[in-house]
Every structure is written in C-alpha cells, then in structure tokens.
Structure 1
Amino acid sequence: MSQSMSRVSRCINNGPMEGWQGLIKEMRVVLYPNVNSYEDMEEAFKATIEYYINYDPQERFNGKTTGQVRREAKDNPENIISYPIKQDKRYKNFWKKIDEKKNQLA
C-alpha cells in the first residue's frame, strides 16, 4: 500500500478508510455497548474487527465475508475473482469537478 497525500481540504483519498472506521465504530457500539475501561474498549474493537472479517456477510461479495474472499484469493491466486466497488456519487461529482477545472486551465 502506498501513502497518498491530498491537497489541503481535498481529503477524498481518505474516504474509504474513514468510511471503514466509521462502520467499525458503529458495529462496536451495537456488539459491545457496555465498555467501561480502555482495556475493554481495546478488546471490543479487536473483537468487532474479527466479527467484521469472519462473520459479517458483504453484499458486494455476494454474501461472503471479507475473510472468505481473502482466503479464496490466497488459495487460488491464478483465479482471483473481481468484486467491483460501486462508485459513490459524491466521488464521481468530485472528480468531474476536478476534470472540469483541468479543462478550463488547458
């Protein structure tokens, strides 16, 4: 994975990771609502991530978990299945505006 640094006020690169972190935080609240210490919180997040990887079926993976998809890819690297990511309208609009600005400058 390579680091990507956006321009100031253009944090579009962080969107996928921010979204995942938000999802994990929401799942943690549902799965482990009674956290009373830092240690409990740390364990709750570890368990939530474990749940996400191994027990949470993903619509975009046709009902498979992220762990299943990873194991399939590792076991059969010559025949990795592609699961396209649905393009978010906000990202499309962002990049459309960038392209329009580039065209105005050209």
Structure 2
Amino acid sequence: MCSLCFRVTVFQYTSHEYNHLQQTYGFTKSMSRVSRCLDNQPIERFWGTYKSESYSLRKYGTYEELHRSIHRYMHYYNNYRYTERLNGLSPKEYRKAAQRDTLARHTTKVSH
C-alpha cells in the first residue's frame, strides 16, 4: 500500500521525529519549496470539496468506513464530477483532452 502524507506547514518536514516516522512507516512526503502554494492547489481543492460534499455530511464509526468513503469520493471526483472550470469535463476527461491536444500539437510540429 502506498501512502502519501500532505502537509501545508513546513516544520514537520524538518523535524527529526517526523522524518523518523516517515522512514518507519514508509509514507511519501508531498512538499515543494516554501511559498510554492500553486503546487498545493489541486489537493487543497480536492480536500475542501470532499469535506463539504461528503465528510461533513455523516459520522464515521471506524477508520475503514472513512477510508472507503475517501476512495469512493476520489473515484467519483476524478471520473464523474463535472466542473465548469474544466470546461464541463471531469478531471479524467480533462486530462485525456489535454493529452490529446498536446500530442496533436507535437505531431503537427514534427510533420512540418
């Protein structure tokens, strides 16, 4: 199982205790340089949306229930949640369209 730990504040990453926990449990730290908030924007948007559309609407009796809820919501969010800011596409559809556009531009440049 791959685990990713995302933190907004930096001090945890420089803490010897935090680094020891990361090595002991083998999770991956997600962090860019200080003041690079744009790197955090997609995950911040996801968690904010999850909290307002799912998490806050119910109580979880166990960690497993919460875990399943997060995974179900991630699947929904990436595959079926259409948004205006993505031109009415789901994130998965938007990525596919962007990849097609990039490939088409690259192919056009190579053939000329």
Identity %: 23
Q: 1:18 aligns with which of 21, 39, 44?
A: 44
Q: Calculate the aligned-residue CA RMSD, in Å.
A: 2.9
CA shift, 1:62, in A, is 1.6
CA shift, 1:41, in A, is 0.3
Segments of 5+ residues of structure 2 without an aligned counterpart are 1-29, 106-112
CA shift, 1:56, in A, is 0.7
Task: Find the residue that maps to 2:53 and give its secondary structure.
Answer: helix
Q: TM-score scaled by structure 1?
A: 0.53
Contact 1:73 1:79 in 2 (8 A): no
Pick the structure with more strand per residue: 2
Deviations 1:15-45 (A, max 9, x none): 5132332222222236x62422100100000
Segments of 5+ residues of structure 1 without an aligned counterpart are 81-106
Instruction: Tell me the distance in 2 between the aligned counterparts of 1:13 and 1:61.
Output: 17
Residues 1:53 and 2:81 aligned together: no
Q: TM-score scaled by structure 2?
A: 0.51
Distance 1:4 1:73, change over 3 A: same
Distance 1:69 1:12, change over 3 A: closer
Matched with 1:79 is 104
Matched with 1:27 is 53
Residues 1:39 and 2:67 aligned together: no
Instruction: Tell me the distance in 2 between the aligned counterparts of 1:59 and 1:40.
Output: 30
